[in-house]
Structure 1
Amino acid sequence: MSPLVFYLAHFAVLAYALVGGVFLAFSDFIMRSLSLTSGHGGAEAMQVINREVFRWVFMALFLGLAAVSLVLIVHAALWLDGTPATLIVTAGLVYLLGCFAVTVVFNVPMNEALAGMDLSQTSTQSYWTGTYLPRWTFWNTVRTIACGLSAALLLFGLTTLSQLLPA
């Protein structure tokens, strides 16, 4: 593995864990807390959160990891073999499918639907409690697990790779 990709992979382990930590906070207590607010408070707070998430730190990690995952997949598939290659390729695929694709296919459409809703309408409260909270939280939990699994797989891949290298 080239030194650049080796260091990039180490950064990716940390970044997968950081992104997964954000998702964990939402699945563990933020969404539950928002569900306990009175009236439309939770829906309004989530509308604000969904606008603010585009700040550069989180989005740079989230989007950057998609590109880094592709680099790791290609590099491992072309230049590595055995268990390290399998673990590193799987780590990248789990992030791309379980986190990035889930976000694009499930969470973002729900966020966009909520963003366009009028908080004074009863249909908004119905969507918030009956659809958004359970479905968004479910898919967010999938993203949490995917990020944690990606971090673990990549860490194990790097560990296995380092054990195979001459001292």
Structure 2
Amino acid sequence: MTTIYLVLLQGGILAYALLAGVFLAFSDFIMRALSRTSGIGGPEAMQLINREVFRWIFMTLFMGMAVVSLLLSGLAALSLNTPADTLILLAGLVYLVGCFGVTVIRNVPMNERLAAMDPATDTARDYWTGTYLPRWTFWNTVRTLACALSSVLLLTALVWRTAAY
């Protein structure tokens, strides 16, 4: 196993776990707290959060892991000689589908719809409570589980690989 490959695996484990933690915080308590705000507080705060998420730290981690996942999955798919290769392939695919794909297909469209609304309107409050909170939180939980599973799969693969050496 090359040093670069080892660093990619170790960095991937850490990055997947960090992303899982961010998403877990939203599913576990941030969204619940926002749902308990009065008036326009929840939708307005989420609009602000959705604008701030584009800061370079989170986006570098989130987008970077899509690239790393493609790279790791591609390298693993080329060999598939050991169960560890299969786990690495699965880790990348789980992230790409369960986190990145869900974000693009589910969470971002809801964020964009909320961003276009005036939080002071009944339409925004109805969308916030009836659609956004339950659906966004559900799909965010899917992202949390996908990132956690990707981290566990990579960790297991790394342990398996290093035990073989």
Per the alignment, residue 37 of structure 1 pairs with: 37
Distance 1:8 1:85 in 2: 14
Give me the identity figure in percent: 62
Report the number of matched residues. Answer: 165
Q: CA deviation at 1:2?
A: 2.4
SS at match of 1:99: helix
Per the alignment, residue 127 of structure 1 pairs with: 127
Deviates more, 1:78-87 or 1:121-130: 78-87
Q: Deviations over 1:83-136 (max 9, x none)?
A: 101100000000000000000000000000000001121010000000000000
Per the alignment, residue 60 of structure 1 pairs with: 60
Q: CA deviation at 1:137?
A: 0.1
Per the alignment, residue 27 of structure 1 pairs with: 27
Does 2:162 match 1:162? yes
**Residue segments in structure 2 that go unaligned for 5+ positions in a row:** none
Distance 2:120 2:32 in 1: 21
Distance 2:116 2:162 in 1: 50
Which amino acid in the other structure matches residue 57 of structure 2?
A: V
- Residues 41-120 of structure 1 correspond to what in structure 2 (within 5 A)? 41-120=41-120
Does 2:17 match 1:17? yes
TM-score (normalizing by structure 2): 0.98
TM-score (normalizing by structure 1): 0.97
- Decide whether aligned partners of structure 1 residues 79 and 6 sit closer, same or farther in structure 2, where only a CA change above 3 A counts: farther
Q: CA deviation at 1:164?
A: 1.3
Q: CA deviation at 1:8?
A: 1.1
Which amino acid in the other structure matches residue 20 of structure 1?
A: A
SS at match of 1:76: helix
Distance 2:69 2:104 in 1: 16
Q: CA deviation at 1:80?
A: 4.6
Q: CA deviation at 1:18?
A: 0.3
Q: CA deviation at 1:79?
A: 3.4
Distance 1:89 1:36 in 2: 41
Q: Post-superposition, which runs of at least 4 consecutive aligned residues in structure 1 deviate over 6 A?
A: none
**CA-based RMSD:** 0.8
Which amino acid in the other structure matches residue 131 of structure 1?
A: T
Does 2:144 match 1:144? yes
Distance 1:88 1:102 in 2: 20
